[in-house]
Amino acid sequence: MSEKMSITLNINGLNRPIKVESRRTLADAIREDCGQTGTHIGCEHGVCGACTVIVNGEPVRSCLMYAVQADGKKIRTVEGLARGDELHPMQRAFMEHHGLQCGFCTPGFLMLAVGVLEREPDMSNDELLDVLASNLCRCTGYQNIIKAVWAAAAEMRGSK
């Protein structure tokens, strides 16, 4: 077993000093070492997107990054989307449009959509479909995820 490194992950604005092996993925560190289990792990090889989080403003697969690489970086997870009781427009849209069933892929889709729209708010609906093809959902057939993201995108643009 290799030695553990001391790092600090800043998750949703809170610094979390942890000790991890170099091989620990960011996804595992967020969940196991920081106890933020809203980020889910669906494949650990970068295909399903359930573990998507925002690192320094970029939506990324947290299973494809080692935690040590995120030392000192600003990480946003699903737990940080709402402001207190006020849900993010994307969260509200998922509820209004029935964009989730089992809810396992949901945090990944939320962080993907929010992460991309914060970078590129004017992305067209068709381009958003390309983005949403990044993640897998097995319950919804995507119909209502798409509706939710399109609606939230319009709302996010409107509030600018």
d(CA 153, CA 113): 8
Q: Does 52 bind other proteins (CB under 8 A)?
A: yes
Q: Does 133 bind other proteins (CB under 8 A)?
A: yes
d(CA 39, CA 15): 17
Q: Which is nearer to other proteins, 125 or 157 (CB)?
A: 125
Q: Does 156 bind other proteins (CB under 8 A)?
A: no
d(CA 40, CA 13): 20
Q: Does 152 bind other proteins (CB under 8 A)?
A: no
Single residue of 9, 18, 24, 29 touching other proteins by CB under 8 A: 24
The helix (run of H) or strand (run of E) holding residue 159 is: none
d(CA 68, CA 4): 10
Q: What's the closest the beta carbon of residue 94 comes to other proteins, in angstroms?
A: 5
Of residues 92-111, which lie at the interface with other proteins (CB under 8 A)?
A: 94-96, 98, 100-107, 110
CA angle 55, 32, 111 (to 5 degrees): 30
Q: Does 87 bind other proteins (CB under 8 A)?
A: yes
Single residue of 34, 59, 117, 151 touching other proteins by CB under 8 A: 59
Q: What's the closest the beta carbon of residue 121 comes to other proteins, in angstroms?
A: 14
Q: What's the closest the beta carbon of residue 102 comes to other proteins, in angstroms?
A: 3
Determine contact, residues 105/138, Cβ cutoff 8 Å. yes
Q: How far is CA 77 from CA 66, 95, 152, in A?
A: 16, 18, 18
Q: Do you know the residue count of the chain?
A: 160
Q: What's the closest the beta carbon of residue 53 comes to other proteins, in angstroms?
A: 9
d(CA 146, CA 137): 11
Q: What's the closest the beta carbon of residue 74 comes to other proteins, in angstroms?
A: 14
Q: Does 151 bind other proteins (CB under 8 A)?
A: no
